[in-house]
Structure 1
Amino acid sequence: MTNSQQDTTKIRVLVSNDDGVFSPGIKALAQSLTEIADVAVAAPDVEQSAVGHGITIRRPLRFKHTAAAGFGDIPAYRVDGTPTDCVVLGTRILQKPDVVVSGINLGYNLGNDLTHSGTVAAALEGMILGIHSIAFSQAANEQGEYNFEHAKAYIPRIVQWVYERGLPPRTLINVNFPPVKPRGVKITFLSDYKFEDELVKRQDPDGRDYYWVAGTPKSTIFEEGSDEWAVREGYVSITPVRFDLSHREFMTQMEDLAE
């Protein structure tokens, strides 16, 4: 594609998330891209946080246009399924996008959180389908409030860069915004940030046990250059994440099993 073509052709972007089509984060993300992109939205009709890369195969799915979510002129569709379902349907029913973006998630997706995150899973599905994909997340401020104006100022530049430069195979971009005006951008690696699971046991009115799985954020190593370090220091964290789960270095130590 020539520079003149890039100047006159808008990027085709599919927007999804895991907080649901009515989340303020997805509106901010979609609206931030309208100047540089033709934007369409396909998102869950209810919150689907922490569902990971689940896909619905045991029942049919509904794909409905929605005006009630407040996207204005941006075409928006709600899906009664997971974030992965949304990307599968959105890329096939609507025009195939140049870039899939997911978020803005209400809360960080750092380190080991990526394995649980529905927000990252939507970007992962885009990557699997051969589409450049980005996940966006942001923490709330100390009052528990979200202000996406600073994030919206960075998002078009990030999406434009990914569209023009491309990403390596099996790679997506994971972006986390601090809750305050960023000091700048850091290219980071994944920390060991995770939620330490806690099992809360209770009883219903009939005396039967039930359980809540809760968690507390925890890091055992706080390392400069990591995604957690960057956002704690007030920077935008941009992490290229490669989904190649093979431990190639260890393969040589296992060769005796093949004898």
Structure 2
Amino acid sequence: MNNLQDHNAKLKCLVSNDDGIFSPGIKALAQSLTEIAEVCVVAPDVEQSAVGHGITIRRPLRFKHTAAAGFGEIPAYRVDGTPTDCVVLGTRILQKPDVVVSGINLGYNLGNDLTHSGTVSAALEGMILGIPSIAFSQAPNEQGEYNFEHAVSYVPGIVQWVHQHGLPARTLINVNFPPGKPRGIKITFLSDYKFEDELIKRQDPEGRDYYWVAGTPRSTVFEEGSDEWAVREGYISVTPVRFDLNHQEFMTQMQDLED
């Protein structure tokens, strides 16, 4: 996977995330792709974690070139909106990319977490626009620190594979890296990993109630071959995710509702 093929023309990558343009994860991701691609970064100006596939429609958006984020010669733009906004603006204001790449998210995106993730939603918007799209995430080590050295050695190969082979309709790739040196790659399915919501009630100085929504990761089934199993075993989890919300089998059971 690390042996890259030579090409006369570099592919074009649009890079985004939900942790914001100043995140170390997006810098590592963008820089890892410069050897194989023409890279352009369009990311939120502040953290937008867990915003899902939200898009801004009730106010104007700012699209601003920034040199302060430390991307060097890589063109980088910040948007005062969601990850989905970033992909929409990036693909329309700039040239349409060959691949949309999102991340590297600070923390896993596994199982049911995908429905909340802004990182995955940036890739989802790319998919909707007909562009092969990949979301990358990684967990911290036991000290809560992030080292992307091993992850970025695999990123170019994964991106090239997707570019060369393409993806089926309504499909994106969700990749999760373990915190240390990977044992290899596993093609996985989504686990039932989710956050069990906790509602914390407090009061402000004037005695008015306010709430924090918190959560603890939970899995009811730990199944070999799932994305959570792979990263816990030290592998890179690569999951093809199809966004087809139709329940074809159940449709036949509902036929008696028709006139």
TM normalised by structure 1 equals: 0.98
Task: Tell me what 1:87 maps to.
Answer: 87
- Computed over aligned residues only, the root mean square deviation of the Cα atoms, in angstroms, reads 0.9
Segments of 4+ in structure 1 off by > 2 A? none
Aligned residues: 255
The percentage of counterpart residues that share the same residue type is 86
Task: Tell me what 2:190 maps to.
Answer: 190
Cα deviation per residue 1:85-111 (whole Å; 9 max; x = unaligned)? 000000011111000000000000000
| Alignment of 1:164 onto 2:164 | yes
- Report the residue type matching 1:82 in the other structure: T
Q: CA deviation at 1:207?
A: 0.2
Task: Tell me what 1:75 maps to.
Answer: 75
- Report the residue type matching 1:100 in the other structure: V
Q: CA deviation at 1:206?
A: 0.2
1:96 aligned counterpart, secondary structure: coil
Task: Tell me what 2:118 maps to.
Answer: 118
Question: Where do residues 14-93 of structure 1 align in structure 2 (5 Å cutoff)?
Answer: 14-93=14-93
Question: Where do residues 167-182 of structure 1 align in structure 2 (5 Å cutoff)?
Answer: 167-182=167-182
Question: Where do residues 236-251 of structure 1 align in structure 2 (5 Å cutoff)?
Answer: 236-251=236-251
2:183 aligned counterpart, secondary structure: coil
Cα deviation per residue 1:154-192 (whole Å; 9 max; x = unaligned)? 000000000000000000000000001000000000000
Task: Return the alpha-carbon distance in structure 2 between the equivalents of residues 250 and 148 of structure 1.
Answer: 44
Task: Return the alpha-carbon distance in structure 2 between the equivalents of residues 155 and 258 of structure 1.
Answer: 49
| Alignment of 1:152 onto 2:135 | no
Q: Which runs of 5+ in 2 are unaligned?
A: none
TM normalised by structure 2 equals: 0.98
Q: CA deviation at 1:6?
A: 6.9
Q: Which runs of 5+ in 1 are unaligned?
A: none
2:7 aligned counterpart, secondary structure: helix
- Report the residue type matching 1:57 in the other structure: I
Q: CA deviation at 1:232?
A: 0.2
Task: Return the alpha-carbon distance in structure 2 between the equivalents of residues 125 and 67 of structure 1.
Answer: 26
Q: CA deviation at 1:7?
A: 1.3
- Report the residue type matching 1:165 in the other structure: H
Task: Return the alpha-carbon distance in structure 1 between the equivalents of residues 252 and 192 of structure 2.
Answer: 26
